[in-house]
Structure 1
């Protein structure tokens, strides 16, 4: 089938990831074809890959670039600062050899040992956050846990001061899709402030390095071929990816369990299942539901379709993770599911470097919630939960009730 062959064209609205249930539309798209045209936000023509095998193939194929500059049709008309800025120097928006060089630097600093050493502190942070509202019998799991937990952890990992409201403003500003001028201006302001902040922090680490990830990156910077812009881009990427996706995933996971009481009961009966459940919860309703963007460096045949050079491609993670060709009963949440190679953390060279840290935080938080609040329940119907604005699939608030804890 050629790129010009007729397909039904789907429209992916700006708020698509925040629908109560976006998966029927993804299923309809996948049933039509694993690869076809769509219109993003009503104005951007893109290609969408929805089949599991096709998504994995695209994420492993060097002809699908992460660099926006590979798609001049998409970048035409954008001012230079929006076509190329410090965030474009990060791992998320680069290809080999630059990607390989920078990933190697981060991998040397962001080790399994460093993550494992954080485990006791993560448990302390979770319990401190739950202590703050445990005696109330009610609380908001986003404001009380899902938002501050990953911010506090990534700040400790990086070795930077914790500033909850400032970090919240930055992450929302940069996670919103560029739908209008006001959103772009907010993103520009957030990006400028983050660049200034991390530039100052790196200067402090050069003067007085510590046992933290940012100091390790600064040390690597002195020994490796990496520019100042690349170093700042790496720091910002670690900050954003280290908390925004975890925030959304934790809220989604708790709501999924509270709306599937039989699965929740199984976890309460056997908490050792929680690590396996994390994979299933990520497959079932992960934060990157819409997918990740790639850009074709040449004409690429995939899924019976040829995608022309210079096109924007959305690799629809949410569709792949519910592909019936890969998963029996894909719309069923099953924490006992075996052979579950979900791609919620990505695949190939762009596989999430922070996956181990995210798992540690989610597992620790779920263990504490199940242990401390045996009758945890949603305080409002799931349809009334407000969605978090932005490109990730997440919730702005998750009000819950439970039997109050006695002061310890």
Structure 2
């Protein structure tokens, strides 16, 4: 059995725009796993190859829940709660996921598509009226996911600035100006706000997710508690807003810096679906891997014996660039014939909102390119990038047309 036993610092380097650190490619070619030390928690094994990452994400012998605690290897200062959907194992995870899955059926996503298109059109109308240059993030990419997630949850779009503020703080890393107390405070403030929102819906028949979950308390044999509903809303809001916004920004940036790819999409509407999948695969959305799993027994993984009680950090970013799965993985190729990327994870924690995110990206990116055929970066040499955040991408994106 092989493996690099002396921990090395992780992430390997500060984020460089949307460039994936070449260390991942080197490690995929070396036998065994590598031992890494994150900013917080104990050392952990890092899985970089596609096959190993899929095993960690999908094999029940690897537990997400058992990896929690103060010594959990993590990029962020705060520790994850054990009652969150993203941190639970079955049967608790199965129960919560079943309760909320009804909001993410293809039928529900199809129902949201016309409203998403309307939101997109109205925002682009306003951007065009205001004239160039425009910050695509402030004018468009923040608003689309926030308005859609408010439609889904039953929240108020007027609270968007609060949501954006709290979620940005919660995504901050050690290099930011925020303290652990600031991050914990943002988490508490968001949960308290969602609890207040839940109270406004009690006793009222509403078709949004919070209303439906409240109604289920009256009819289910195993009803959800208020705390569980708030936790579900918290998870959906953070994933459906902050992460989707950043993905939308990065897609726009890549298309504006790769005009030939943008031209391909303008000339062929049929290419939009595969293009979004390729952008999802290609874009390194975060500064590093997160959500480690603990081995419940001794497991051989990638040539390394992972002992029971040890954790493994699965890097989907590295897996999405694995040469054994993707031909010319560093290239952005909208004609890729096979694209089984792991951006939405795998196994029981596969992202519930994957189809919603795909729909939003298709509508937003496709409409943006059609409406503004001459869209370009207003100042390509001076693009500010996010700092002190687990997410990577521009913090502002000035465009002209």
TM-score under structure 1 normalisation?
A: 0.89
Deviates most, 133-142 or 26-35: 26-35
1:188/1:42 CA distance change after superposition, 3 Å: closer
Aligned to 1:28: 26
Q: 1:295 aligns with which of 293, 296, 302?
A: 293
1:95 positional shift: 0.5
1:379 positional shift: 2.3
Distance in 1 (CA, whole Å) between partners of 2:324 and 2:285 is: 22
Distance in 1 (CA, whole Å) between partners of 2:91 and 2:14 is: 34
Cα RMSD, aligned residues only: 2.5
1:323/1:66 CA distance change after superposition, 3 Å: same
1:298/1:173 CA distance change after superposition, 3 Å: farther
1:110 positional shift: 3.2
Q: 2:96 aligns with which of 88, 91, 102?
A: 102
Aligned to 1:406: none
Q: Where does 1:70-219 land on structure 2 (aligned, <5 Å)? A: 70=67, 74=71, 85=81, 88-135=82-129, 136-162=131-157, 163-177=159-173, 182-219=178-215
Kept in 1, the 8 Å contact 2:12–2:21? The answer is: no
Kept in 1, the 8 Å contact 2:285–2:393? The answer is: yes
Kept in 2, the 8 Å contact 1:89–1:234? The answer is: no
Instruction: List alignment gaps of at least 5 residues for structure 2.
Output: none
Q: 1:241 aligns with which of 236, 239, 242?
A: 239
The DSSP-based 3-state class of the residue aligned with 1:143 is helix
Q: Where does 1:380-399 land on structure 2 (aligned, <5 Å)? A: 380-381=379-380, 384-387=383-386, 389-399=388-398
Distance in 2 (CA, whole Å) between partners of 1:73 and 1:143 is: 36
Instruction: List alignment gaps of at least 5 residues for structure 1.
Output: 403-408
Larger helix proportion, structure 1 or 2? 1
Aligned to 1:340: 339
The DSSP-based 3-state class of the residue aligned with 1:293 is coil
1:180/1:125 CA distance change after superposition, 3 Å: closer
Deviation by residue 1:121-152 (Cα, 9 ceiling, x = unmatched): 11111111112221413211111111111111
The DSSP-based 3-state class of the residue aligned with 1:74 is coil
Deviates most, 24-33 or 184-193: 24-33
1:273 positional shift: 0.7
Kept in 2, the 8 Å contact 1:251–1:395? The answer is: yes
Deviates most, 272-281 or 295-304: 295-304
TM-score under structure 2 normalisation?
A: 0.90
1:394/1:84 CA distance change after superposition, 3 Å: closer
Distance in 1 (CA, whole Å) between partners of 2:152 and 2:40 is: 40
